[in-house]
Amino acid sequence: MIDADAVHELVETYKKYGWILRRVLLTHKLDTSLGSKKETLFGNVPINISDLDAAWFSRPPKAGPIAWEIRYLGDIPYALLENVDEGGVEFETILQAVEGRLRESITAKRSA
């Protein structure tokens, strides 16, 4: 399982390249493990309890839709990128679909 130092390093690396932490998904196990460090790690970013440990980042576009990337917070370094219109009616549905693809990919990599 990822620890607080590794989460901090990952978030700082994304920031360095212009990405903004937007949402965090934590399993009960990681949520408990991070404990009071969550505020320092994630600030005011919404944290949702999930069956997946992941962080959503976005980056302002040069033109067109906004790039959103979901980064798995686990033993397998993996991320998926989707360009979406944040004002679109399908925005949340698209992000949920990407989360589903991440779950499937992580499961497949673990069983390989």
Distance CA 23, CA 39 (A): 13
* Confidence label for 102 from pLDDT (cuts 50, 70 and 90): very high
**Structural domain range at position 70:** 4-111
Range in 6-10, 16-20, 51-55, 74-78 the model is least confident about: 74-78
Coil vs helix vs strand at 86: coil
Cβ count near 68 (within 10 Å): 22
Distance CA 14, CA 108 (A): 25
Distance CA 42, CA 23 (A): 9
Question: Could you tell me which residues are beta bridge partners of residue 21?
Answer: 57
Distance spanning both ends of the chain, measured CA to CA: 19
> What's the pTM value of the predicted model, to 2 decimals?
0.93
